[in-house]
Amino acid sequence: MEMAEKAKQNIAGSIAEYGKRLFGFIRSKVRSEEDAEDLL
């Protein structure tokens, strides 16, 4: 169980750190901003 919690923290940390860049990348690959938000 601890491994799953660690993975969640890593994902949350990555999104916090790279969120804008990640959103921009996803946005360039999908049709709408809403789709990008759903994926992020």
Judged by DSSP in three states, 9 sits in helix
pLDDT value, residue 40: 83
**Angle of CA points 17, 3, 6, to nearest 5°:** 20
- CA 40 from chain centre, in angstroms, equals 4
Quote the pLDDT of residue 1.
Answer: 58
User: Model confidence over 1-40: pLDDT tens digits?
Assistant: 588 888 888 888 888 898 899 999 999 999 999 999 999 8
Domain boundaries, the chain: 2-39
Kindly report the pTM of this predicted structure.
0.63
